[in-house]
Structure 1
Amino acid sequence: MDFTPTEAQAAARDLAAGIFADLATHERLRAAGTGSDQELWKALTGAGLVAAVGELGLLGLVLLLEEQGRTTAQVPYAASCAFGLLAVAAHGTEEQRERLLPGIEDGSVVVAGAFPAQRGVRPAARGGLTGTVPVVPWLRDATHVLVADAGRRLWLVPLGAGGGAGVEETELTAPWSAGRLTLREAPAEPLGDAPGPGGPGAYADVLAVARTAFAGLQAGVCAGSLARAVAHTNTREQFGRPLATRQAVQLRAADAHMDVEAIRVTAYEAAWRRDAGLPYATHALTAAWWASEAGQRVVHTGQHLHGGAGADVAHPVHRHFLWGRQLDAYLGSGSEVLQELGELIAHAD
């Protein structure tokens, strides 16, 4: 294994870091509320940072999402790349790739994901899809949503224009522009060739890609939270000494640093294995477990080390706390992911 970024991956990461630093400021994030920053999204797509993911691979995407997480930038980057660009590139037909990928790459097509498989979603008798998905992150930004039905088949559903897919605004812990999706014989196209659109292999791959991508996002969220805590404890004095000189503070920060590194390296490993064409389902679950279980510890630490300031919901570190807890829930919570990982290992050939 070699997680050293290629020259192209490193250049893309540095470019993304600069864009996020310039545009995902505390003031702009406060102004965005629960919506996404369209100017930032245009800057990212205009710089080719969505289109580049096709060449940079999943490891490249993880590196880019780390940079997003450091600033908690409100754009549908992870969703549109995992459920859109990489899913269509890997499992779409040639016609779907030619029709959809250019729009996804330039940002005019944004794909959200109704994942994991939705038990209440099924093909309707007269065609299309019927069912309800209570929460879909970034749905309010999306032009399409990739839906996994009860049979783990993949369907692309266009949104808007009265096509039978309704979107209602939903609030989450983090401001992820989420929505409730209601399908009433909504037009839908299978992702990939029939029969069995996508097939179980496609579903498993897209789910593992999403878990790895969002674990990379969590690595950045946690690194950003810890960086804020380190800066605060180095400048905040108590009894004439910086808080960072206190052993209890050092130990708490050291534990958080190790958790961040565990999230990062497990996400890197899962992504690297997928790019190398190696089995990676258990590795994606391992990354998701660390991102969920350790992630919530880190963002609690970041808030705690800020003392009273950490209790202020307007403080920048609180946004990392909200994102970290939302990612914990979105990835399935540590105990759920660990159970799935155990079952997968137990039933492995």
Structure 2
Amino acid sequence: MDFTPTPEQSAARELAAEIFGDLSTPERLAAGGSGTDAELWKALCAAGLPGAAEETGLLGLVLMLEEQGRTTAQVPFAATCVYGLLAIGAYGSEEQRTRLLPALRAGDAVATGAFPARRGGIRAAEAADGAGRLTGVVPVVPWLRAATHVLVPDGATQRLWLVRTDDAGARRDPVETTAPWSAGRLTLDGALAERLGRYGSAEHLGHRAAYTDILALARTAFAGLQAGVAAGSLARAVAHTTTREQFGRPLSTNQGVLLRAADAYMDVEAIRLTAYEAAWRRDAGLDAAPHALTAAWWASEAGTRVVHTGQHLHGGIGADVDHPVHRHFLWGRQLAAYLGSGAEALEELGELLTGDRPPPATLAPQPPRTEESP
């Protein structure tokens, strides 16, 4: 395994870091409330960064999401790339790719996903022409209030459906989560939907394989986002403890502070490494489902520890809800909740490793997008 970024991946990461650093400042975040930062999202799309995820692979996306996490930028970057660009690019029919991908790259459309299926009982009634009517409720969907399309798995078959949020049968109710993710409760009452990959690769590989792969994509991508959130929290704690003095010396000279920071650093590196490995394997066409679960476990368990440490090392300042480190704390907790508890991840991983759960299909690596690609 070689996690050294390609020149294209490094360029995408550097551009993402520049845009997030310039536009996702603590002052703008404080003034922006809980909604999507429209100006930042427009800048990212104008720079071609959502579309870059198709060219640089999942590892390239993880690198860009790390930079988003460092600044806790309020844009649906991960959701649109995973549940929109990468999912439709890999499993959509040719007609779906031609119709939907340009709008997702340009930011004119925003995608999210009602994953995993266990959090909502969605039932689909499929017509002969491949269209469907979906009924059910998903209590919390990230970035739902900003989304134009939602990727929804049937709770029984794990068949994948695309639903437009402006459909008469789709209702979105705001839900305030720990982090300001423009989340919502999705209620479907006979909502019109189109099956993903009606004539494409998802049909060939089987809808369960497509569901498994997209779920692994999401776990890896959001683990990469957590790596950035945790790294940003730790960086703020280091800056605070090296400049804040107590009894005539910096806080960072205290052994207890050094040990907490060292443990947090090791946790950040573990989150990053496991996310990189899962992304690299998926890009190489290898089975990445167990590795995605491993990354999710580290992101959930270690990510929570790191953001608690970051807040704790700020002392009383860390309890100020207006302080930037508190935003990292909220994001870290929300990402841990979204990825699921460590116990859940370990249980599922154990089922995979012991053969109690059918192994996912091994997928061929996706070819990079060219100028002629839809």
- Scaled by the length of structure 2, the TM-score of the pair is 0.91
May I ask how many residue pairs the two structures share in their alignment? Answer: 348
For residues 5-24 of structure 1, the aligned pairs below 5 Å read 5-24=5-24
**Match of 2:299, as an amino acid?**
A
State whether structure 2 residue 237 is matched by structure 1 residue 232.
no
Q: Which runs of 4+ in 1 moved over 3 A?
A: 124-127, 194-198
CA distance in 2, matches of 1:112, 1:243: 43
Aligned to 1:299: 307
CA distance in 2, matches of 1:169, 1:122: 22
Aligned to 1:245: 253
CA distance in 2, matches of 1:79, 1:199: 20
**Deviation readout 1:299-345 (Å, 9 max, x if unpaired):** 00000000000011110000000000001110011111111111111
Q: CA deviation at 1:125?
A: 7.7
Q: CA deviation at 1:212?
A: 0.1
8 Å Cα contact 2:83/2:112 also seen in 1: yes
State whether structure 2 residue 284 is matched by structure 1 residue 268.
no
**Match of 1:305, as an amino acid?**
L
Q: CA deviation at 1:117?
A: 1.2
Which secondary structure does the structure 1 equivalent of 2:140 belong to?
Answer: strand
Aligned to 1:256: 264
State whether structure 2 residue 45 is matched by structure 1 residue 45.
yes
Q: 1:345 aligns with which of 353, 363, 374?
A: 353
Q: CA deviation at 1:163?
A: 2.5
State whether structure 2 residue 126 is matched by structure 1 residue 120.
no
Q: 1:169 aligns with which of 164, 170, 174?
A: 174
Which secondary structure does the structure 2 equivalent of 1:187 belong to?
Answer: strand
Aligned to 1:130: 135
Aligned to 1:71: 71
Structure 2: stretches of 5+ with no match in the other structure: 360-374
State whether structure 2 residue 158 is matched by structure 1 residue 157.
no
**Match of 1:75, as an amino acid?**
V
8 Å Cα contact 2:113/2:152 also seen in 1: yes
**Match of 1:140, as an amino acid?**
R
**Match of 2:265, as an amino acid?**
H
Which secondary structure does the structure 2 equivalent of 1:314 belong to?
Answer: coil
Deviates most, 261-270 or 111-120: 111-120
Q: CA deviation at 1:33?
A: 1.1
Which secondary structure does the structure 1 equivalent of 2:172 belong to?
Answer: strand
8 Å Cα contact 2:117/2:158 also seen in 1: yes
Percent identical pairs in the alignment equals: 71
CA distance in 2, matches of 1:113, 1:193: 18
**Match of 1:143, as an amino acid?**
T
Aligned to 1:28: 28
Which secondary structure does the structure 2 equivalent of 1:329 belong to?
Answer: helix
CA distance in 2, matches of 1:235, 1:218: 26
Q: CA deviation at 1:194?
A: 6.2
State whether structure 2 residue 267 is matched by structure 1 residue 280.
no
**Match of 1:157, as an amino acid?**
V
Which secondary structure does the structure 2 equivalent of 1:146 belong to?
Answer: strand
Aligned to 2:215: 207
Deviates most, 110-119 or 276-285: 110-119
Which secondary structure does the structure 2 equivalent of 1:100 belong to?
Answer: helix
The RMSD of aligned alpha carbons is 1.4
Q: CA deviation at 1:32?
A: 1.4
State whether structure 2 residue 112 is matched by structure 1 residue 106.
no
Which secondary structure does the structure 2 equivalent of 1:343 belong to?
Answer: helix
CA distance in 2, matches of 1:114, 1:2: 33
- Scaled by the length of structure 1, the TM-score of the pair is 0.97
**Match of 1:302, as an amino acid?**
G
